[in-house]
Structures are given as structure tokens and as C-alpha cells.
Amino acid sequence: MKLYYSPGACSLSPHIVLREAGLAFEPVLASTKTHKLQDGTDYYGINPLGYVPMLELDDGTRLREGPAIVQYVADQVPTKNLAPANGTLPRYRLQEWLTFIGTELHKSFSPLFHPAMPEEGKAIYRERLAGRFAYVDAQLAGKDYLMGEHFSVADAYLFTVSNWTVPMQIDISGLKNLVAFRERMQARPAVQEAMRAEGLLK
């Protein structure tokens, strides 16, 4: 398998999950600025959308969108318990979290990364994100991870997106449950391996 990624982008989520799963894969750097691979290949020729992540299976099948990719990876190694079984209510709870993170957190960051967005507009999105992270903090009360005491693929996505609060100047230091969650995530070997491979850790 190949994972097309860009350092620190949302592709960090499936990168972490692949390492948690212990599956063999090749990370392929795809710049989100130049939309080219390191060898000069036009990434648009591989993924017409031009963004990451994208997972290419051994038979050449390509799967896009982080929430779909992480569930696919989890289902390849059911004994690792990275996602509840398909068709169960806990699986729908997992999908509920993946959808929330994708639509309420991830996409709310997009305007902050856009250089043409006026500062007044960015302030609105920062306030919105602060409220959404406060909600997550409340949901983490008494839990180690989003689904309870065990890590799931949703945690990799939340960790990845919450990393962006620092460069985008959103203060989450007062959200004790979220801060503790991030510390637990940072201590996981798979998280450290993925971040090191992407040049995010020395």
C-alpha cells in the first residue's frame, strides 16, 4: 500500500492509524502547495482533487478521504480493535465522531489557512472552533479516548486536527480533558513514529 501524505496535514491521521495497525505501507510525500511528488510527478494525475490523504492499495485501487481510509485500515486488522465491528451501534458512534471532526473541526480550520480570508472572518472561525473544542473537552470527561478507555481511529483524527490550534492561535490550554487526551496521544509509539517520519518530531 501507498499513503500519499503532506507533513502535518490531515493525512497524519491515517498515517498514525497505519502504524497502529502494523500494516506495511509506503509513505509518499505529495506537496499540497506544488501538487507534485518528490520526483516531479503531477499529483493531480494520481488524485484529481489534488489533496491528501489518499491510500493506494496493492491492486492499484485508490481510496480517498481520511474517515473512509482509517475505517478501511481498521477493518483489515479487526483484532487490533481500532474500530468497532461494522453494523454495531458503537461503529455508528465512531462514524458520528469522524463526521463531527471532519465537518465541525477540520473544515472550520480551512478559512484560517486561506491567505485571502480577512482577519475579521478568521476571528469568527476561531471563536467557533473554540466552542467546538470545548464541546469535545466535555465529552472527554472521565474518558481516556473519544470512545472510552480504548484508542480508536477517531482519536488519530482528533489529535491531528487539534495540532492545528497552535499555528492558528486557538487557545485550548484551559480544556483540561483535551490537554490530557493530547498528552496520552503524544505518548503513543505509533503517533511518535508517524510524526517523526513526517519531520514533525526531532
On whether both 52 and 94 belong to a single domain, the answer is no
pLDDT for position 125: 96
Report the half-sphere exposure of 33 (CA within 13 A, side-chain side).
4
Do the domain assignments include residue 202? no
Tell me the mean pLDDT in the region 29-43: 94
| 201 closest CA partner among 187, 70, 26 | 187
Chain-wide mean pLDDT for the chain? 97
pTM score of the predicted model: 0.96
pLDDT for position 71: 98
75-102 pLDDT, tens digit per residue, is: 999 999 999 999 999 999 999 999 999 9
pLDDT for position 202: 77
On whether both 112 and 176 belong to a single domain, the answer is yes
Number of domains making up the chain: 2
In whole angstroms, how large is the CA radius of gyration of the chain? 17
| Residue with more model confidence, 201 or 74 | 74
Do the domain assignments include residue 138? yes
We report the CATH number of the domain holding residue 93 as 1.20.1050.10
Domain that holds residue 110: 89-188
Tell me the mean pLDDT in the region 66-73: 98
On whether both 72 and 107 belong to a single domain, the answer is no
Do the domain assignments include residue 25? yes
We report the CATH number of the domain holding residue 33 as 3.40.30.10
